[in-house]
Chain A
Amino acid sequence: MDDRFTVANMAVEAGAKVGLFVPDDRTIDYATARAARPFEAAYPDPGASYARTVRIDAGKLEPVVALPHLPSNVKPAKECESLELDQVFIGSCTNGRLRDLELAAAVLKNRTVHERVRLVVIPATVEVFAEAMKRGFIETFIEAGASVSTATCGPCLGGHYGILAPGERCLSTSNRNFVGRMGHAGSEVLLAGPLVAAASAVTGRVTDPRELFGDDALPKGGEGE
C-alpha cells in the first residue's frame, strides 16, 4: 500500500487528474480497517476500453532523481553524483510512510549523515511515527545524526523546519521541486525516493544507493502497510 500511495500521489504531478489502483484484497483490508462507514469499491468495467495504455516494468527501473525545477526533469541518480547537497528531507505525504522510513533506516543503520548535510526526517502520520519508534527506525535516524519531527507538513512547501537559504540545494522525497518551493527562490530542490535520499544524506551528494550496497544487497524493506 505504501508504494501505491507514492505512485498515486506522483501521477497527479505527471499531469493526471487522479492516480487510481484497481482495489485488491490488500486495498480492501487497508480501507476496511480505517473506513468510518461501509463502502463500495469501484472497479473498471469488464472489457473497459482505454484511450492509451502505457506499460512500465517497475523491476527494470533504476534509481532516479528529478532535477530543478520540474518533477518531470528526471535523470538517473548515478549521472548526478557531482551534485553536492546541503539538506536531505525524508517524509511528506509522498514518501513518509512506514516502508519509506524502513528503507531509509536500513541505509542509515550504522552510518552517519555527512557533516555538511542537515537530514530532516518527518513521518507522515502519528500512526507511522509510533510504529517507526517501536521498530527502532527513529533511533537509527537519531544515531545517524538526523533531526526527527513529529508528523506534520513543513519543509516540503517551505512552511517550517528546514527552509532553504539562497544557494542551498536539498534532495527531498516530497512531490514538487518548483522555484522557491522549499524556501528562497534562489535555492534548489531535487526529488527522489527514500533509498536515494538516505544514501545521499550519507555521502553529501546525489548518490545511487547501489554505490553503498551493490546491486543485490539493496534493502528491499518489508510489506509496510
Chain B
Amino acid sequence: MSDRFSGKAWVYGDNVDTDVIIPARYLSTSNPAELAPHCLEDLDSGFMKKMEPGDLIVAGGNFGCGSSREHAPLAIKGAGVSCVIAVSFARIFFRNALNIGLPILECPEAVSGIESGQRVEVDLAEGRILNLDTGKAFSAKPFPPFLRDLVARGGLVPAVRARLEERRRNAR
C-alpha cells in the first residue's frame, strides 16, 4: 500500500461514534465487503452513494467513541476510504484502525481547513495534508515508522505473521 493518496473529503462533526459508523444490526459478519454498504448509514445515509474509493473522511474530536468493535474501521476500510483525518480519535478506535490497517491522522488545523467535497492529498510518511482546491497545506504529526509499517502491511495480524515468517527464515 502506498503512503500517498488523494480523494474527495467528506466532513463530519464531533463524537462520530462506532454505532453510527457501523450499526450493531450488521455485526453478524466481520467481512469488510459486507460491512461497507452500511458504513456511516445512521449518520449520513447518502455517504456510500456519493463517496468513491480513495475518498477521505474528515471529522471533529473523539472520532470512533463508544463500542470497541473493530468492525468500525473495517467498514470504513472496506468502503474504500483511504484515510480518516480527525481533530482527535477515541482511544480504542485509534488502535483498532492501526491494527486493521486503516490510515488515520490527527490534525485539527486540517479539519478546520477542509470542506466537504474538496479534494485532498495526503502523504502519510510526512504527515502532510494538502487541500488541492484551496492550495492550503497542513502538517500532522506523522506516525513512527513501526506504526506506518503496521498499516502498510495491512494491520497487526499480517504484520506479526510477516515478522514470524522472517524470523523462521533467518533461523534456517
Contact = CB atoms under 8 A, between A and B. Distances in A.
B62 A179 contact: no
B20 interface: yes
A158 B24 contact: yes
B90 interface: yes
Contacts of A60: none
Contacts of A181: 19, 24
Interface in A163-196: 176, 178-181, 183, 185
B42 interface: yes
A180 B91 contact: no
Contact of B66 (A17, A158, A178): A178
Contacts of A180: 19-20, 23, 42
A159 interface: yes
A15 interface: yes
A70 B90 CA distance: 14
Interface residues on A, range: 10 to 19
B30 interface: no
A60 to B, nearest CB: 28
A165 to B, nearest CB: 13
Contacts of A178: 17, 19-20, 66
Nearest to B68: A12
Interface in B13-42: 15, 17, 19-20, 23-25, 41-42
A179 B45 CA distance: 13
Interface of B: 15, 17, 19-20, 23-25, 41-43, 62, 65-67, 90-91
Interface of A: 13, 15, 17, 70, 157-159, 176, 178-181, 183, 185
